Structure 1
Amino acid sequence: MDHWYFIGFLLLILLHLCLVSAEINGSVLEMKRGTSSVPFDPTRVTQLSWHPRAFLYKGFLSSEECDHLITLAKDKLEKSMVADNESGDSIESEVRTSSGMFLQKAQDEVVADIEARIAAWTFLPVENGESMQILHYENGQKYEPHFDYFHDKANQELGGHRIATVLMYLSDVESGGETVFPNAEGKLSQPKDDSWSDCAKNGYAVKPRKGDALLFFSLHLDATTDSDSLHGSCPVIKGEKWSATKWIHVRSFDTAKRQSVNRDCVDENENCATWASAGECEKNPSYMIGSEDYYGYCRKSCKVCSS
């Protein structure tokens, strides 16, 4: 298994180098929804772990891009939810105490540019990704270790399992807020001093640094789920933490979403009726209703479809 694992990654590296070479020679890396104005730079990427497969891209976002994403989200934050393992419904849980919101895909030029850059780095199509989620963690807030792949069938029908996650740090954190992998192979060998939180010492950990992006895979190369991808967000001890998450599926998430909405006039979140009553259909139409190219999560409660 390790032999084929190694060969697979050699092929990925070779493909990366070919694309970078083509870009230098004046070619353009085509994406379904355009290209990024910032080329993929392999010199900024560090391999952190093979079990799970995890990579850190230093300076993936500019400071201005980070600030822009925070500005888009700041006035639209809601308590973060988790997916119920049985039904797949979004529910409240003390496992996750942050607040967050979803942007619309290609909401503006900055968002579209970042999405194209993610596709170039991961070699996974833009249409396989979910909308970007912006998260805010205040003092003491956290997300207990969890998997990004699904246990329920309902979510798996929407583009299949999440194969990869790109976690972008939008702010520095004075203390705490690390991303931790409790099952990672390098958890015992990673040196840690007193600048790391106690939570971070329970696994292989990554400190949040404004502009950096963490890519990790939730599935093995043979498409089976990877239990080593268990990860969490350590409690913020001092300061605050802003991040942006892009979940990417094995198949087109856009197509699956469109088919789901065309088949039934349903809400994709159990809080949709409450949000609609609070005026969110007008305040946050990108998420609630969507657009011509993107179906929103609360179309039924916003009365833009009929069941």
Structure 2
Amino acid sequence: MALAQQAWERSRDYVIFGALLLVALTIFVSRNGPALRAARAASLAVTAPVEGLFERTAQFRTALGENERLRTETAGLSAEVARLREARAENAQLRSLLGFTDSLDAPRVVGRVVSKDITEQTNLLTIDVGSRDGVRPGMPVINERGIVGRIVLASPGYAVVMPHQNTQFRVPAVIEELGREGIVRWDGAAFDRLTMEYVVKTEPVERGMLVTTSPFSGVFPAGTPIGRVDTAYAAAGRNDYIIHVTPAAPISEVGFVYVLLVEPDPERAILEAQARDSLGLERREAALEARLEATTPEEE
């Protein structure tokens, strides 16, 4: 008897709580009166804003995560698009080079431009072929559009190119439609034009005429495009035109090139250099260039 009483005292609270909970559940399920419905509605009215706040917070956190994921995907897709555009441009240039190959008679090697220094008047390009590929200083560099420059230095794996947009570059040229010769150089004033000189001003030079390398170039094959005439004017006191030429192959757009594995005749180069030095032509040309740089179209 004493044991039963002790057990009842220990479990009495739990039994009473369970009985009351059972009664409450029975009333809640069996009775759906207006008072109960009103109580439920009131409790929902109180708890709904809180639940809505927690739900909006969860939605906001979800939106932040989704936004970050989309931002990452967008950055990746933008990088992929840039790579695809670059690959498409390279493929187009390589296809043009392959189509251009059949018109070349000289041995050549294809190089890729790996560095461009186009911020100074003495601009330079670096390509990924060198002496182990047969590249030597003085060799001409072209692409499918026209002349690019000539090799000035070569190591086993790389070579440095002096492009036509370098103030030290010169190339004998001819206006195809007229058969008139001159010298093309870059005056350093603008990246979108070269300058042709020594064409007499009586010639009917017109915009759009093709300018190519002369047979007397000694470096480039004759007839290689240099560019097209943009404007021509005769400065005061001169009998020849100053012709602005739009380059066929601007160095800012050059990616792949051909190096023609043809070396200039060393005997001829030495003889011509000695002749120029003995006659003082270098000094005379420097003085003439200084005078030309001071000349503008308004002086006509």
TM-score normalized by the length of structure 1:
0.23
Greater C-alpha radius of gyration = 2
TM-score normalized by the length of structure 2:
0.23
| Higher RCO (CA < 8 A, seq sep 6+) | 1
- Between Structure 1 and Structure 2, the one with more helix by share is 2
